[in-house]
Structure 1
Amino acid sequence: PETVRRLLKMYGHLLEDIADRPDARVKELRLTDAAEREKLVKEFNDTRAAYPPNKCIHELFEEQASRTPDRTALVFLEDTMTYEELNRQANRLARYLRDKDIAAGSVVGIMSERSFEMVISILAVLKAGAAYVPVDPQISAERRRYMLEDSNARLLLVHPAPDGADSGPVPVVSIQEALASASSADHLEPVSHTEDLIYIMYTSGSTGKPKGVMVEHGSVLNTLFYMQQTFPVHSNDAHLLKTHFAFDVSVSELFGWFFEGGKLVILEPGAEKEPVKIVKAITEHGVTHANFSPSFLQAFLEDLKARGIRELASLRYAFAAGEALKPHVVRSFHEQVSGTELVNVYGPTETAIYATCHRLRQDTPEEQVPIGAPLANVQAYVLDRYSQLLPIGLIGELCLSGPSLARGYANLPELTAEKFAPNPYRPGERLYRTGDLVRRRDNGTLDYIGRIDQQVKIRGFRIEPGEIEETLASHPSILSAAVIAREDEPGRQMLVAYCVVHPDTEIPDEEWKRHLAEWLPSYMIPSAFIQLETMPLNKSGKVDRSALPAPGLNHDSKNESDQPISEVERKLIGITESILNISGINPNDNFFDLGGNSLLTIRFITEIEQTFGISLSLMDFIDLPVLAKLAKTVESLLPVGAS
């Protein structure tokens, strides 16, 4: 009944608008009256709030360091660093950069795993007046060169110093060596302003190459100030740095801890995939704020349940970010974890970390988890393709406005103009078209529905299938390619690649992976590869993605040994078949080639530990994904006579 009443109301508004404006074009006709437009434009977007307008992020850190010089700022493994030590080290490196002609407007690449040196280098780049480009040490040399050249980086800071790091014409500088040779640790005169860039972050691009999102100090500050006001980090609190700094969620971790003298607990590289190590870091260091991708949160909760863990000690806020949060994950969280508030936050890289948020109460279960209402100073509109406001209840594109918007895309003026258009509802301001489909509720909160385009989020990673397709198509034996994300079961998505190759050509999976790895990061390499004789097309001649076949069990390995399958191998096969929902595998199969991924690995290891009563490291498993080899490791950990 409510839907019917809403439709009748919209129809009435439409007829009235036709009568009032008979010369209006059809695309200009409105389904809302003046009162509803007032609510959609102003009431739901009355988010005005003060924040420091003339401060840069590193200046706020310097002010806090002067107030609490002896307080612990960083924790990494068994080591700590005070505010004064961190500030002086960043000053030393910043002076080194200034001596290398790094100044206001410069760009510096940083390639490092999580460490003291990574945090020092980021602050140093900002103190020098430059913007940083985070570079994942695991990406290919070709992709690294492209990012550094496209961003016009002046040099690349690295830690630890890799052997022969290929950065093209960009000089490579060891962070430790630069610190050792710096002349002074004295304070530097500020040269940055809030409208200067703080970072350029590269995301997947549909053209086959990543695109650099340029974000300013003021944009980040607006988001962080809201988070501090709403979910404060106090002097005895700690934020957990577990997100790789090449992804924008890390920005809330890197800069959201020091406003009132809190500390940053740096998770060791690789530990972000191990629930046991995350729980240990939270417990031992009093972590109060932590981010999780929803898919990892699901695996994390499954591991907690298997280990009988019912609370996360000091953790006050768990932020779910990076992809759609499903209701069953929320229910699991509230059933298993007490004393921690779950917050669903949403925001593309183009809007400085977050744009909306929703606090999830245990006593108000949701049939669909909202992404919530806009943050301070952010405006959210639900529009059709002609930028007309859509009424409550209709699905449209989420468009965002306000100071959190990025400056645009590096060296892509046409794409910047297309995505960052003039805001018709706030003259003189810009409107970012997210490409996300949403629906507004009666109370103004927003539900995420899906994407307009083919972009997908898998395990929190933003992926344009077109970039993978372009890379596949560059292989000399491939005639055409298509990549889609398939969901075999709730919470489990996988990338699947389909290719048409030259006649009489057979490309093994390893060749596809090797070719893709030359350009793409590991999270963009599909889990399954399927060769087709022809690509299914729809009536318009485009690839019919709905007709692409689901991947089946497709492996060439054979258990040709005369040796019988051991009891440990049999149990490992049973665990694998249950987790991957397949059958017919054998000990010579590779867990990842069968469709396994890092999140399923957590479930796999937990079940192995429960089945055999042993402790197995995730990193050990990554090196032993073949079941027969894993079985030998399991056998070596078993008590004598056990199986």
Structure 2
Amino acid sequence: MSARGRAVDRLLTLDELPALPLPDDQAERARERAARYGMTRDHAVELGEPVIARVERRAAEGDRLAVRDRHRRLTYADLAAEARRLAALLERSGVEPGTVVGVGGERGAAVVAAFLAIELVGALYVPVDTAWPAARVRDVLDQAGAGLLLVADDASARGSALVDGAREAGCRIVRASEAEQCPPWQGPARLDSLDQPRYVLFTSGSTGRPKGAVVEHRGMVNHLHAKIVDLGLTADDAVAQTAPLGFDISVWQMLCPLLVGGRVEVVEDEAAHDPVAFARAVERRGITVAELVPTMVRHLLDDLAADSGRSGVPDGLRWMIATGEELPAELARRWLAAAPHARLLNAYGPTECSDDVTHHVVTEGDLDLLRLPIGTPIVNARLYVLRGEDDGAWRACDLGETGELFVGGVCVGRGYLGDPERTRAAFYRDPFDPAGRLYRTGDAVRLLPPGEGGEDRPVLQYLGRVDRQVKIAGVRMELGEIEAVLRRHPSVGAAAVVVHEHPAPPRP
């Protein structure tokens, strides 16, 4: 396994990142405005505790359900034991601290245990989606430098594109079921430092190859606690795990409930993609927190209104989180009217910054805006709105001015794995924190003055992209990546991709 190299050796150090061309007077102005307008939010978080340590403490408190999928129910004790057996299997298979482990298969309890096992041995988790073609699987695992693919379920290990792509990448295939005969791995989780890389998630890249965004342990844990703080999560909560493994939101959906003694309810694809079946799963399984892309929220409201056998959104749902796409004000209005008992959270954030960096609870006062606010920073995130000048320098924007969003704080990741050129194009040394990184999002935003929406404080409003990146059904895509793939075909000499928006066809 060591032949593939440690991931940290393929990342730029802080000193290797460029300095942002922000004059001293503008840096001071940006710092002052971020503080004055509530774009910084300090909050004490215990960043040094691995998730598995919290799971094992919960296991000692009683026979509490931790995760449930359509096949199995695991208590906290069951989950901890499975994670330790998987950790033993990984170590026996040659996995070392700092190496990358691919994980694929059906979403379920085994994937949650696999993440915790990887945390135990100090390796990095890179998810591989079973819906990907073999070429995408090969590219992701090859670029990640993974020497092993852990397949969560035996069904996915038989004749699938997942396995074909892994073999093309030169990965060893290991089945999670092989851990059943392994003795539990011993000792505490290997955590050398808070900036230890924890996982790699691949996003669209303009060169035709995906970009592997590396998230640190502290960024991941901080985001988990941000959800706990802003959603008020407790041991009584059940979070729907609906996101494909290749989406960054799958990480918090799998792990966040475990920090508070709640449970993860893995909703199978058939129900996750069928609005009425999803609503029934929410009601039957006591789900209190769900997260969907706005397109799916719209279908949920449409189908529930058309289903005479249902009374509407289940009463037990406390939160609906909209993410991955812009949330239209008209859709938010429908949700507030149909489900006043379930608060609507508009969440925004890039994979490169450990997932969400802003939250906004939508209120009636927001609905007259053409575009809803994305809100204010999560805990320990620092947000700056800057505008580029003709001379290449940047300046700080004031209330109401349009600029580009930059993110600082513990949430900012380490860059792109093995890709120094694209890392230097998006990550900078943080001019406000000499030990930190600053991420350029490529998103145009403005700070709404107090009272323009439903808040008596400034909030951020998303205005669109400043580059050629688009969101299609919640998936971030570089148009350049599609063009690059088209040009690979021997019959294609040149390619140009544009996006046309059409009204959604009427649903039967």
AA aligned opposite 2:172: P
Judge conservation of contact 1:57–1:217 (CA < 8 Å) in 2. no
Tell me the equivalent position of 1:61: 55
Larger Rg: 1
- Of the three residues 369, 373, 389, the one matched with 1:370 is 373
Q: Distance in 2 between matches of 1:479 and 1:88?
A: 55
Tell me the equivalent position of 2:357: 355
More RCO (CA 8 Å, sep 6+): 2
- Residue 477 of structure 2 corresponds to residue 474 of structure 1: no
TM alignment of 1:157-176, pairs within 5 A: 157-158=150-151, 159-160=153-154, 161-163=157-159, 165-166=163-164, 167=166, 168=168, 169-176=170-177
Tell me the equivalent position of 1:460: 474
For the structure 1 residues 34 and 191, does the alpha-carbon distance in structure 2 shift closer, same or farther, using more than 3 Å as the test?
closer
SS at match of 2:297: helix
Judge conservation of contact 1:310–1:338 (CA < 8 Å) in 2. no
SS at match of 1:344: strand
Tell me the equivalent position of 2:41: 47
Deviation per residue, 1:527-575 (Å, 9 max, x gap): xxxxxxxxxxxxxxxxxxxxxxxxxxxxxxxxxxxxxxxxxxxxxxxxx
- Of the three residues 435, 445, 462, the one matched with 1:448 is 462
Deviation per residue, 1:412-464 (Å, 9 max, x gap): 11221221112223344221000000011123211000001110011111111
SS at match of 1:239: strand
Tell me the equivalent position of 1:117: 110
Q: Distance in 2 between matches of 1:257 and 1:346?
A: 20
AA aligned opposite 2:181: S
CA drift of 1:79 comes to 3.7
For the structure 1 residues 189 and 427, does the alpha-carbon distance in structure 2 shift closer, same or farther, using more than 3 Å as the test?
closer
Tell me the equivalent position of 2:313: 311
TM alignment of 1:153-552, pairs within 5 A: 153-158=146-151, 159-160=153-154, 161-163=157-159, 165-166=163-164, 167=166, 168=168, 169-176=170-177, 178-182=178-182, 184-185=183-184, 187-193=186-192, 194-308=194-308, 309-362=311-364, 364-367=366-369, 368-385=371-388, 386-442=393-449, 443-489=457-503, 492=504
For the structure 1 residues 404 and 423, does the alpha-carbon distance in structure 2 shift closer, same or farther, using more than 3 Å as the test?
same
SS at match of 2:85: helix
Tell me the equivalent position of 2:74: 81
Judge conservation of contact 2:241–2:253 (CA < 8 Å) in 1. yes
For the structure 1 residues 366 and 425, does the alpha-carbon distance in structure 2 shift closer, same or farther, using more than 3 Å as the test?
farther
For the structure 1 residues 146 and 59, does the alpha-carbon distance in structure 2 shift closer, same or farther, using more than 3 Å as the test?
same
Q: Distance in 2 between matches of 1:33 and 1:408?
A: 23
Q: Distance in 2 between matches of 1:406 and 1:39?
A: 24
Judge conservation of contact 2:31–2:432 (CA < 8 Å) in 1. no
SS at match of 2:495: strand
Identify which range, 184-193 or 137-146, moves more after superposition.
184-193
SS at match of 1:222: helix
For the structure 1 residues 305 and 187, does the alpha-carbon distance in structure 2 shift closer, same or farther, using more than 3 Å as the test?
farther
Identify which range, 54-63 or 230-239, moves more after superposition.
54-63
Q: Distance in 2 between matches of 1:174 and 1:426?
A: 44
Q: Distance in 2 between matches of 1:131 and 1:34?
A: 37
SS at match of 1:67: coil
SS at match of 2:49: coil
AA aligned opposite 2:32: E
Q: Distance in 1 between matches of 2:380 and 2:49?
A: 17
TM norm structure 1: 0.69
SS at match of 1:224: helix
AA aligned opposite 1:50: A
AA aligned opposite 2:383: A
AA aligned opposite 2:229: Q
Deviation per residue, 1:351-373 (Å, 9 max, x gap): 11110010112465341210001
Identify which range, 309-318 or 431-440, moves more after superposition.
309-318
SS at match of 2:84: helix
For the structure 1 residues 310 and 271, does the alpha-carbon distance in structure 2 shift closer, same or farther, using more than 3 Å as the test?
closer
RMSD: 2.2
AA aligned opposite 1:51: V
CA drift of 1:469 comes to 0.4
Judge conservation of contact 1:320–1:345 (CA < 8 Å) in 2. yes
Q: Distance in 1 between matches of 2:181 and 2:397?
A: 60
Judge conservation of contact 1:88–1:186 (CA < 8 Å) in 2. no
Q: Distance in 1 between matches of 2:175 and 2:373?
A: 45
Q: Distance in 1 between matches of 2:52 and 2:426?
A: 29
Identify which range, 449-458 or 76-85, moves more after superposition.
76-85
Q: Distance in 2 between matches of 1:27 and 1:76?
A: 50
Q: Distance in 2 between matches of 1:272 and 1:82?
A: 23
Judge conservation of contact 1:311–1:339 (CA < 8 Å) in 2. no
Q: Distance in 1 between matches of 2:98 and 2:60?
A: 26
Tell me the equivalent position of 2:7: none
CA drift of 1:394 comes to 1.2
CA drift of 1:185 comes to 2.6
SS at match of 1:247: coil
Judge conservation of contact 2:27–2:432 (CA < 8 Å) in 1. no
User: Which structure 2 residue ranges, 5 or more long, are not aligned?
Assistant: 1-20, 450-456
Q: Distance in 2 between matches of 1:138 and 1:441?
A: 40
For the structure 1 residues 27 and 264, does the alpha-carbon distance in structure 2 shift closer, same or farther, using more than 3 Å as the test?
closer
CA drift of 1:36 comes to 8.3
CA drift of 1:42 comes to 5.1
CA drift of 1:180 comes to 2.6
AA aligned opposite 1:162: R
User: Which structure 1 residue ranges, 5 or more long, are not aligned?
Assistant: 1-25, 493-577, 580-602, 608-643
Deviation per residue, 1:504-543 (Å, 9 max, x gap): xxxxxxxxxxxxxxxxxxxxxxxxxxxxxxxxxxxxxxxx
In percent, how many aligned pairs have the same letter? 33
Q: Distance in 2 between matches of 1:216 and 1:27?
A: 26
SS at match of 1:64: helix
TM norm structure 2: 0.87
Deviation per residue, 1:16-43 (Å, 9 max, x gap): xxxxxxxxxx99698x898886233555
SS at match of 2:34: helix
Q: Distance in 2 between matches of 1:231 and 1:436?
A: 25
Q: Distance in 1 between matches of 2:77 and 2:24?
A: 61
Identify which range, 332-341 or 396-405, moves more after superposition.
332-341
SS at match of 2:482: helix
AA aligned opposite 2:188: E
For the structure 1 residues 427 and 45, does the alpha-carbon distance in structure 2 shift closer, same or farther, using more than 3 Å as the test?
farther
Q: Distance in 2 between matches of 1:66 and 1:92?
A: 18
For the structure 1 residues 418 and 187, does the alpha-carbon distance in structure 2 shift closer, same or farther, using more than 3 Å as the test?
same
Judge conservation of contact 1:71–1:82 (CA < 8 Å) in 2. yes
Q: How many residues align?
A: 465
Judge conservation of contact 2:52–2:116 (CA < 8 Å) in 1. yes
SS at match of 1:484: coil
CA drift of 1:335 comes to 1.7
Deviation per residue, 1:585-610 (Å, 9 max, x gap): xxxxxxxxxxxxxxxxxx3xxx2xxx
CA drift of 1:221 comes to 0.7
Q: Distance in 2 between matches of 1:366 and 1:58?
A: 45
Identify which range, 309-318 or 215-224, moves more after superposition.
309-318
AA aligned opposite 1:121: A
Judge conservation of contact 1:358–1:373 (CA < 8 Å) in 2. yes
